[in-house]
Structure 1
Amino acid sequence: MNKSAYFVASAAAFAMLAGPAAAEDLVFNLKNGTGSVLTRFYTSPVGVEKWEEDVFGNQVLEPGEAIEITIADGRSVCEYDMRFEFSEESDLDTTTDTQNLCELGTYTIHE
């Protein structure tokens, strides 16, 4: 192998080893199958003691509506805890669940 071909092959191998593994964004549809307004939605990888920021920000999810959720936190995990909070007028309590978001296409929260 000549010097330039050896250099190119070595550089390519080094680049593959040196770069961190890129985590893919987790994307799924969240549907509100309740009769109440969903005001806050939190996620956090399983085993993390604190909830991440509210995914909705200033938005809410009305009954029957759906929204595409993207979790782009740079982690390479699939199992996430989820927390759902409803409007003050609702008779629904805060709800939590754990799902494999890598395999999830749509998640519907029910009463």
Structure 2
Amino acid sequence: MNIFVKGGLAALVLLASALPAAAETVEFTLINNSSQTLQYFYTTPSNEDSWGEDLLGPEGTLESGMQGTVTIGDESDQCVYDFRFETGEGALLEVPEIDICTLNSYTLND
């Protein structure tokens, strides 16, 4: 019986190590509750120094009062990210240390 328990535990550990990391792909609703058009939205794991690609894409904007689904799929295993918002009117906002693993929506306000 003792051998079975050890073998079962080893199989459980092996299975857990094969599961994907928590933050590999995360989707959430981005709500633009500001008075400006969101032109660019960048993210990066908080432990890194460079911003990723614009998540709104080359044709994307998010008008004031609108919302959209954002996907962070950079295959990072990190949950804590920094956000950078740039508006069409030239405003810039950086928000540090957002836990994307528990995020259902994020609202951008003035």
Fold similarity call, TM over 0.5? yes
Bin for the TM-score computed over the shorter chain = 0.7 to 0.9
Structure 1 equivalent of residue 100 of structure 2: 101
**Post-superposition shift, 1:42?**
0.1
Q: Map of 1:6-45 to 2, 5 A cutoff?
A: 13=11, 16=14, 20-24=18-22, 25-45=25-45
SS at match of 2:31: strand
How many aligned positions are there?
A: 100
Q: Percent identity?
A: 33
Q: Does the aligned pair in 2 maintain the 1:22–1:74 contact within 8 Å?
A: no
**Post-superposition shift, 1:47?**
1.8
> Larger radius of gyration, structure 1 or 2?
1
Give the RMSD, CA atoms, in angstroms: 2.5
Q: 1:2-51 CA deviation, whole Å, 9 max, x = no partner?
A: xxxxxxx8xx94xx36x754134212110001111100000000021110
Q: TM-score, normalised by structure 2?
A: 0.77
**Post-superposition shift, 1:73?**
1.4
Q: TM-score, normalised by structure 1?
A: 0.76
Gaps of 5+ in 2: 1-6
Task: Show structure 1 runs of 4+ deviating over 6 A.
Answer: none
2:20 partner letter = A
Distance in structure 1 (CA, Å) of the matches to 2:35 and 2:55: 20
SS at match of 1:48: coil
1:96 partner letter = E
Distance in structure 1 (CA, Å) of the matches to 2:45 and 2:104: 18
Q: Map of 1:22-101 to 2, 5 A cutoff?
A: 22-24=20-22, 25-57=25-57, 58-87=59-88, 90=89, 93-98=91-96, 99-101=98-100
Distance in structure 2 (CA, Å) of the matches to 1:40 and 1:59: 8
**Post-superposition shift, 1:93?**
2.2
